[in-house]
Amino acid sequence: MYKVYVTDHDYPDLAIEESVLAPIGAQVIGLQDRTGAHLAQAARDADALMQQYAKISADTIGSLKQCKVIARYGIGLDILDVKAAHAAGIVVTNVPDYCLEEVADHSISMALTLLRSIPTYADATRRGTWHWSAWNRPIRRLRGSVFGFVGFGRIAQNMAHKLKPFGLELLAYDPYVSAGVMHSHGVRKVEFDELLRHADLVDVMCPYTPETHHLIDEAAIERMKPGALLVNCARGKIVDNAALHRALTSRRLAAAALDDTEEEPAKQTDWSPNDNPLFSLDNCIITPHVAYVSEDALHEARRVAAENVRAVLLGQVPPNAVHYRN
């Protein structure tokens, strides 16, 4: 019998995984090690790992004596040492087409919410103020406003298609995507500095890497338009939260919307909103890392991740193998 350990999960059960893996004689064992600190011991005899939030380091990988595959439930690989896994002969898989619609829709929803100053107006009416001037900044017409993408992968491309009818001017910075590809989506390719200087709203849509850690830092924020808006539905650590807090309290930026914060609460065992002062600000909307969420997306991620594991355990090539690049 194969042993498939789920490092951690916030699903109510593991029925989807079991429906895919039990027919090949695999036992699905649920752990709840969000930090990954105890995986080396708890999953030592794993034939496969399925990873949600837990970090899997080179040390942990070195302790896995018979593991054949590590399957990410999502797209990102920043919490997994892919190089160490491949060096150990372990196949790595992810779900590359997962939640493209959901994250695009969530990010657009956050952007429109800020552009129309909806949270400020909602708070004003709760306090008894019923007047158009209760905005947190003068509201510009959407048509003609400048929307800047930091990163122009598949999710941003999906967003560009959906934003076109609003008449926004779309800019994007991405050193890995050509001007021609951007033009085909109705987007103008610019350098990072130009995007920051011209965008009324900056939307972060790049992967988290050592190069993008704190990409949106104090220096970047200083180059943004006074009163500009920031949305981040990518990894929390791309935005320097301390710098953002200073910019929001000084009103250098009018408002921000984040789907995760720098400390990544989902990966903590003991978290409080008091850990991050951004949660105390009325001009910062924070959702609990839910941009990817829909019932359809969650079921798809679990099924595809389990199918990747099944393929490897059966000696087949998985549909979503990740290839390590130096």
Count Cβ atoms within 10 A of the Cβ of residue 152 and give its class: 0-12 exposed, 13-18 middle, 19 or more buried.
Answer: buried
pLDDT band at 78 (very low <50, low <70, confident <90, very high): confident
Closest-CA residue to 290 (of 110, 151, 121):
110
pLDDT confidence of residue 326 = 60
Q: Compute the average pLDDT of residues 67-89.
A: 93
| Whether the Cβ atoms of residue 312 and residue 48 lie closer than 8 Å to each other | yes
Calculate the average pLDDT of the chain. 95
Q: Report the C-alpha gap between 118 and 41 in whole angstroms.
A: 49
7, 92, 242, 292 from 41: Cα distances, Å: 12, 20, 36, 31
User: 289, 302, 307, 310: which is the annotated catalytic residue?
Assistant: 289
pLDDT confidence of residue 135 = 86
Scanning the chain, the segments in alpha helix (DSSP H) are 15-21, 39-42, 58-63, 82-87, 100-115, 118-126, 154-163, 179-184, 192-198, 218-223, 241-249, 295-313
Q: Is 289 a catalytic residue?
A: yes
pLDDT band at 41 (very low <50, low <70, confident <90, very high): very high
User: 213, 264, 300, 303: which is the annotated catalytic residue?
Assistant: 264
Q: Which two tokens stand for residue 4?
A: 């498939």
Q: How far apart are the first and last CA of the chain?
A: 35
Edge to edge, what strands does the sheet with 2-6 contain? 26-30, 2-6, 48-51, 69-72, 91-93
Confidence check: pLDDT of 151 > 90: yes
| Whether the Cβ atoms of residue 104 and residue 205 lie closer than 8 Å to each other | no
Confidence check: pLDDT of 63 > 90: yes
Q: Is 235 a catalytic residue?
A: yes
User: 9, 137, 185, 235: which is the annotated catalytic residue?
Assistant: 235
| Whether the Cβ atoms of residue 257 and residue 230 lie closer than 8 Å to each other | yes
Q: Compute the average pLDDT of residues 103-118.
A: 97
Q: Which two tokens stand for residue 257?
A: 């919307």
| Whether the Cβ atoms of residue 312 and residue 69 lie closer than 8 Å to each other | yes
pLDDT confidence of residue 98 = 86
pLDDT confidence of residue 323 = 85
Q: List the beta bridge partners of residue 28.
A: 4
